[in-house]
């Protein structure tokens, strides 16, 4: 499909982006505007608490969307998942289930629902293939969150089967990039490590403490690339089978930290706190279906993405302190 055809797909549609004011949402909105999308509605929290049915109904009446991109989630790193498992389960389950149901009733043309790599079983064979999604229980520290999000896949499939409702379900790997959440209480691993290294260097601290032993592996996808994949799926993909979104590159937490240490210029030592959990042992996605179904491949190299993220935090967040 040509660039002009991509533009025409969006120009005549009313689009609602839940979570559009957040990290990934900011890239979705940017790319929608680049595609000359004519009508974009972002329901801001707390004006719209999408855990509540009345907020969903009010959003639908206000936006009157043809297409919904559902990014909104209550999400955090290992620490936040351990501290608030019930909250993560309930909030994400209720948001997804009620949004899909009420959107079907309202006559929405299509929903793009975002799941999570946390939905995969703890010991999924690497690389993670979509066919393995149900072959075991997720890693314990984020299972409530992962299972709540995975229910949108079940709902997507059952509503398509019974009602012919068009919804799709994407499984993005861990995202990173400028504008990420750098709050050490709730952030994921990349922004947490970047912040620790940069602030320790500024303060002259000689060591940083990192959770686990560094052996787990992770795959990361630059947020702008993820946004492109989501919009390509919205344009081209109309099946209720799960599809991975990732970069295809696996790195251990230890190697990740060494790379961040080099790029930030941190000159102290690293202390691994092995009393803290590692999380899932390995994560690497098979990304062939995204390429096959809607032509998505990640373009940003990992080191370049990290440089951009570090520069953004150093130049915008640290200068404000």
User: Which residue is catalytic, options 120, 145, 159, 313?
Assistant: 145
CA-nearest of 110, 100, 104, 105 to 9 is: 110
Question: For 108, phi and psi rounded to 5 degrees?
Answer: -60, 140
Q: How many CB atoms lie within 10 A of CB 298?
A: 24
Active site residue 145: yes
Cβ–Cβ < 8 Å for 135, 242:
no
Q: In sequence order, what are the residues at sequence separation of 6 or more whose Cβ sits closer than 8 angstroms to the Cβ of residue 195?
A: 182, 184, 187, 313
Give residue 258's Cα distance to chain centre: 24
Cβ–Cβ < 8 Å for 187, 261:
no
Rounded distance, CA 63 to CA 17, Å? 10
For residues 67, 69, 74, 76, the Cα torsion angle rounded to the nearest 10 degrees is 180
Active site residues: 145
């Amino acid at each position: 499909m040509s660039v002009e055809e991509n533009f025409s797909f969006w120009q005549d549609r009313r689009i609602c982006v839940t979570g559009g004011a957040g990290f990934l949402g900011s890239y979705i909105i940017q790319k929608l505007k680049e595609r000359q999308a004519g009508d974009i509605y972002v329901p801001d929290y707390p004006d719209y608490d999408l855990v509540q049915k009345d907020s969903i109904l009010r959003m639908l009446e206000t936006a009157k969307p043809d297409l919904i991109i559902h990014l909104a989630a209550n999400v955090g790193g290992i620490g936040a998942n351990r501290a608030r498992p019930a909250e993560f389960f309930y909030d994400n389950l209720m948001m997804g289930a009620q949004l899909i149901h009420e959107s079907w009733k309202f006559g929405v043309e299509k929903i793009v629902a975002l799941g999570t790599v946390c939905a995969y079983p703890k010991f999924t064979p690497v690389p993670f293939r979509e066919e393995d999604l149900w072959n075991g229980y997720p890693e314990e520290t984020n299972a409530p969150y992962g299972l709540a999000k995975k229910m949108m896949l079940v709902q997507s499939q059952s509503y398509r089967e019974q009602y012919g409702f068009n919804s799709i379900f994407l499984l993005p790997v861990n995202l990173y990039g400028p504008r990420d959440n750098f709050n050490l209480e709730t952030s994921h691993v990349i922004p947490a490590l970047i912040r620790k290294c940069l602030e320790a260097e500024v303060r002259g601290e000689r060591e940083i403490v990192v959770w686990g032993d560094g052996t787990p592996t992770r795959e990361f996808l630059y947020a702008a690339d993820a946004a492109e994949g989501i919009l390509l799926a919205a344009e081209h993909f109309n099946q209720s089978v799960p599809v991975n979104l990732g970069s295809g590159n696996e790195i251990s937490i230890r190697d990740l930290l060494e790379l961040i240490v080099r790029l930030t210029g941190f000159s102290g030592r690293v202390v691994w706190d092995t009393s803290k959990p590692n999380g899932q042992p390995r994560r690497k996605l098979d990304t062939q279906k995204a390429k096959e179904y809607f032509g998505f491949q990640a373009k940003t190299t990992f080191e370049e993405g990290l440089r951009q993220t570090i520069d953004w935090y150093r130049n915008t967040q640290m200068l404000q302190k």
